[in-house]
């Protein structure tokens, strides 16, 4: 009988399938390690989600501890706008603007070309010095072929200082324009040239620049002898707030009213004062509390899913078989770190804060109920609206605390920080420590998987060689059988 099989001469035995079955059996040796590794990876993934949700909750908690109770509605005004920040208080202020801050700007007399050299040919260099009233100085070195308006502007801008330069084409010719980046008297410029009297006759300016009337005549003031023309003078802003006068170098002023930045736009019409009114924006408190409830519930939903326990089905197990964890259980079931986190968070949000005897000291007082079983929050908006309208200051104290009395925001924030860490102080939290350990265990499992895989591959190769030898031996026997059959048929 001839030997016929799938590629091997083993008398009809399918050694290829046998080899695959043996290989599959050997590969099952990896199962304990892959299950362990997948468990580690699932735990790392779960902690990543929890960490992200904790960070979201922390942002909400931080807002409740500060910004939510400091947000102000600011009145609209004609001569100025105002921005209320941290420290701003509900109040009203009288504001009158008599002068805006402006930046100093100078221009040269018109020239026929922007590329003609305006300096002397000295075979050396000259220095253009621009000094501002605040004491800052810019020095620009120019060669003989760098004294045109375009070259001077290029050299000044290359310094990237507090003065910029441009060349403008007018009906009368080309003019170099110097502009201070600073508003106010501190930015007033003086210009001097050393080493080139001809160029000095174009640029030297020490009195703020010439002032020219509409008829072209020069005003007899401090800048009458200057060589450059004043486009705009350097002047400070002047205003009166609540009966007191102030002079500032900028039109953006943040050091008069605590927590408020004034942006001056124009001089007050007819010198009449405008009322700046700041009122508390209580809608921000409600919005922030709604977000707090949302972020807290999202965290509790995730931790509940990760700690869920589903009993294993043992009904079909044999006497010597061991039940494995049900796939419906959470990846962090039984984890002590997770239990500690949930316990601390739930205990903190159920606490009482603020002044003793205050009407609003707990979340329940604000219409926030916490389910004792699930920990989930529900918000009664009507109760919250009444509380905010009644006493927002007590609600603020409840979250932010006062003196040595800790508020809900700082208490919960401290717990969250202990788990997620603090980037400012470069401190790792418990979650980072836990996931680092899991990452290490994952690598150890991978090392064992790689090692076991090599042993499996070697064993499968030994099976293959044995089957190959069997195939060779059976082929030889088959050939001998054929030869004997052929020989006997001739007798």
**What's the mean per-residue pLDDT of the chain?**
89
Whether residue 262 contacts residue 85, with contact meaning beta carbons closer than 8 Å, is answered with: no
Interval 215-265: pLDDT, tens: 889 999 999 999 999 999 999 999 999 999 999 999 999 999 999 999 999
Instruction: Over range 428-438, report the average pLDDT.
Output: 93
- Residue 4: pLDDT band (50, 70, 90) is very low
Alpha carbons 147 and 166: distance in angstroms, whole number = 14
pLDDT at 284 over 80: yes
Interval 72-81: pLDDT, tens: 899 999 999 9
Q: What are phi and psi of 117, to 5 degrees?
A: -75, 130
Three-state secondary-structure class, residue 395: helix
Alpha carbons 267 and 79: distance in angstroms, whole number = 6
Please state the length of the chain.
491
Interval 14-41: pLDDT, tens: 777 888 888 888 888 888 888 888 888 9
- Residue 474: pLDDT band (50, 70, 90) is confident
With a pLDDT cut of 90, the percent of the chain lying above it is 64
Pick the more confident residue, 137 or 86: 137
Alpha carbons 181 and 354: distance in angstroms, whole number = 49
Alpha carbons 202 and 128: distance in angstroms, whole number = 11
Pairing of strands 125-132, 137-143: antiparallel
Between 430-489 and 15-27, two packed helices, what is the crossing angle to 10 degrees? 160
Res 1: pLDDT: 34
Interval 55-65: pLDDT, tens: 999 999 888 87
Res 89: pLDDT: 87
Burial class, 81, CB count within 10 angstroms (exposed 0-12 / middle 13-18 / buried 19+): middle
- Residue 3: pLDDT band (50, 70, 90) is very low
Read off the tokens for 256.
Answer: 């008069």
Q: Is the pTM of this model over 0.75?
A: no
- Residue 6: pLDDT band (50, 70, 90) is very low
Interval 80-101: pLDDT, tens: 999 998 788 889 999 999 999 9
DSSP string, 271-321: G--EEEEEEE-THHHHHHHHHHHHHHHHHHHHHHHHT-------TT--TT-
Instruction: Specify the DSSP element, H or E, that contains 167.
Output: strand 163-169
């Amino acid at each position: 009988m001839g030997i016929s099989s799938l590629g091997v001469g083993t008398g009809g035995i399918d050694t290829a399938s046998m080899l695959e079955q043996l290989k599959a059996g050997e590969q099952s040796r990896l199962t304990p390690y892959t299950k362990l590794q997948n468990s580690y990876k699932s735990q790392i993934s779960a902690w990543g989600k929890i960490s992200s949700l904790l960070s979201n909750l922390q942002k909400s908690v931080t807002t409740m501890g500060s910004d939510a109770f400091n947000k102000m509605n600011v009145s609209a005004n004609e001569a100025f706008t105002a921005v209320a920040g941290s420290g701003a208080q509900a109040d009203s202020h009288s504001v009158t603007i008599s002068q805006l801050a402006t930046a100093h700007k100078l221009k040269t007399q018109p020239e026929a070309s922007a590329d003609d050299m305006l300096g002397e040919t000295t075979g050396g260099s000259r220095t253009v010095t621009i000094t501002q009233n605040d004491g800052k100085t810019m020095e620009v070195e120019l060669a003989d072929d760098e004294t045109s308006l375009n070259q001077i502007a290029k050299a000044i801008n290359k310094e990237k200082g507090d003065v910029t330069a441009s060349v403008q084409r007018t009906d009368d010719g080309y003019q170099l324009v110097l502009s201070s980046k600073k508003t106010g008297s501190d930015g007033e410029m003086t210009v001097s040239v050393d080493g080139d009297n001809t160029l000095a006759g174009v640029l030297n300016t020490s009195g703020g620049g010439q002032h020219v009337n509409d008829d072209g005549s020069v005003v007899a003031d401090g800048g009458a002898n200057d060589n450059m023309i004043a486009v705009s003078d350097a002047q400070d802003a002047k205003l009166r707030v609540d009966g007191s006068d102030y002079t500032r170098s900028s039109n953006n002023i943040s050091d008069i009213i605590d927590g408020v930045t004034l942006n001056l736009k124009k001089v007050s019409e007819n010198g009449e004062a405008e009322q700046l009114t700041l009122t508390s924006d209580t809608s921000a408190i409600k919005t922030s509390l709604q977000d707090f409830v949302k972020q807290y519930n999202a965290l509790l939903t995730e931790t509940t899913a990760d700690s869920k326990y589903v009993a294993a089905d043992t009904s079909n197990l044999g006497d010597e078989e061991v039940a494995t964890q049900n796939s419906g259980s959470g990846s962090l079931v039984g984890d002590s770190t997770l239990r500690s986190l949930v316990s601390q968070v739930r205990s903190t949000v159920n606490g009482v804060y603020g002044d003793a005897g205050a009407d609003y000291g707990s979340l329940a007082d604000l219409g926030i109920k916490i389910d004792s079983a699930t920990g989930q929050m529900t918000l009664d908006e009507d109760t919250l609206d009444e509380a905010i309208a009644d006493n927002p200051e007590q609600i603020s104290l409840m979250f932010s605390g006062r003196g040595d009395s800790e508020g809900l925001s700082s208490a919960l924030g401290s717990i969250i920080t202990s788990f997620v860490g603090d980037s400012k102080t470069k401190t790792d939290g418990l979650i980072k420590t836990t996931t680092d350990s899991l990452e290490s265990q994952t690598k150890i499992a991978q090392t064992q998987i790689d090692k076991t895989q090599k042993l499996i591959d070697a064993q499968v190769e030994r099976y293959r060689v044995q089957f190959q030898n069997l195939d060779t031996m059976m082929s030889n026997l088959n050939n001998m059988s054929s030869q004997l059959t052929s020989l006997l048929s001739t007798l």
